[in-house]
Amino acid sequence: MSEGKSTPENPWPVRTVARKLLDWINRLGEVWVEGQVTQLNARSSTAFLTLRDPSVDMSMSITCNAGLIRELQLTEGSRVIVHGKISFYPNRGTLSLRADEIRAVGIGELLARIERLRKLLHAEGLFDPRRKRRPPFLPNKIGLITGRASAAERDVLTNARNRWPAAHFRVINVAVQGPTAVTQVMTALSTLERDPECDVIIIARGGGSVEDLLPFSDEALCRAVSQCRTPVLSAIGHEPDTPLLDHVADVRCSTPTDAGKRVVPDVAEESERVRQMRDRGRRALHGWVDRERKLLDALRSRPVLSDPYGPLERRTEEVKRFRDQGRRAVTQRLDREDVHLSGTKARLTTLGPAATLARGYAVVQLVTPDGPDGVLRSVTDAPNGTQLRVRVVDGAVGAVVTNVEGGGTDDA
């Protein structure tokens, strides 16, 4: 029967699918695979082990001659390169890599790979200080990724709470070495990154060998940390230990103890700083109040404010004085003018007609039918019969010319 394309009406039997899988896998041929040994069983002539990818949660079964395991003295956690051919067992539907050569990855090779990865990440800018974020002064919640019941966890918690007793932690315990470390740390990192209350994340573990710290130089973990929006503190190992995570993290702490001290402020120091600032503020306020009080005192002591009526009273006295002076000046002037006027009046009186009449003189006026008409100045103007009016000091008398005499007369 022709196999054709599988359909609901013409499905393939299991043997057909298994055979096709076997054909596809046989075309793959021999491969070189790198991974980390997790489960190892070499009690018989055939050794069985599980090879795990250190960056993701994937693994595959390996079978080989037990002599290869004994020759290399492999243990769980060893990094190896395996050469072999993938086999598919149709009866069980399982895959396995039949290894004919196993090479241990030495420390030198691991360090060389880390150095190549360091240069790659540096060239991509993941170590750039400008990308690093400053952790908050006092985080609301602190995420801690570390081993379960580890000294690193105790150091971080103890030192942070000694400095700030109210520090709030969310601790996620993970494997910090071995084949599952990278996957568990990345999962915990993603969990804390999604926590809206988590303001900073600490990744901590104690010291160890180069192999123990390899997960913290993993490329996938370094890139995950670089993409975090939450500031990340790296506290891996001791001072000489510098995995790549230290360069990618926002803050590198020399030890977990250092991370506990740097993630929160010291309550005693901050209390002292608050006290000092409060004292400075109090002194500044007192100084300002003193200056303003002195200014008010100075303003209040000025005459215009201390004795507001004084200038008015002094000006009143001045006005009175000037008024009196003006009155005296006017009075004196009037007196002088009165004396002058009296003298002028006396002179005028002395020189006037009345005074002359009083001395015995008389004024002779011509009288016409219309009344007095001028003063008689010459005898020629008064012929006989002319009517005259003779004015003397105490009145006037009428007269008629009866005789005219010529010639001058005595002044007496």
3-state SS class at 181: helix
Instruction: Give me 179's structure tokens.
Output: 């084949």
- Residues of the chain with pLDDT below 50 are 1, 409-412
Predicted pLDDT at 408: 55
Predicted pLDDT at 50: 86
Predicted pLDDT at 409: 47
CA distance 38 to 53: 10
310-335 pLDDT, tens digit per residue, is 778 888 888 898 999 999 999 999 99
**298: how many CB neighbours lie within 10 A of its CB?**
10
> Where does 206-289 show beta strands of DSSP type E?
232-236, 251-252
Q: Is there a contact between 33 and 81 (Cβ–Cβ < 8 Å)?
A: yes
> Please, where are the H alpha helices in 172-216?
181-194
CA distance 55 to 35: 10
At CA 289, angle to CA 284 and CA 295, rounded to 5? Answer: 130
Instruction: Give me 40's structure tokens.
Output: 């190892």
Predicted pLDDT at 407: 63
Q: Name the residue ranges covered by the structural domains of the chain.
A: 14-105, 111-265, 269-303, 357-400
Predicted pLDDT at 297: 86
Predicted pLDDT at 27: 81
CATH H-level, domain 14-105: superfamily: Nucleic acid-binding proteins (2.40.50.140)
Q: Which residues, listed in sequence order, are joined to residue 82 by a DSSP beta bridge? A: 33, 102
Helix and strand totals (H; E) in the chain? 12, 14
232-236/46-52 β-pairing: unpaired
Q: Tell me the backbone φ, ψ of residue 374, rounded to 5 degrees.
A: 85, 170
Radius of gyration of the chain (CA): 67
- The fold of 111-265 is Rossmann fold (3.40.50)
- Kindly report the pTM of this predicted structure: 0.58
Q: Is there a contact between 6 and 12 (Cβ–Cβ < 8 Å)?
A: yes
Predicted pLDDT at 40: 83
Whether 14-105 shares its CATH topology with 111-265 is answered no
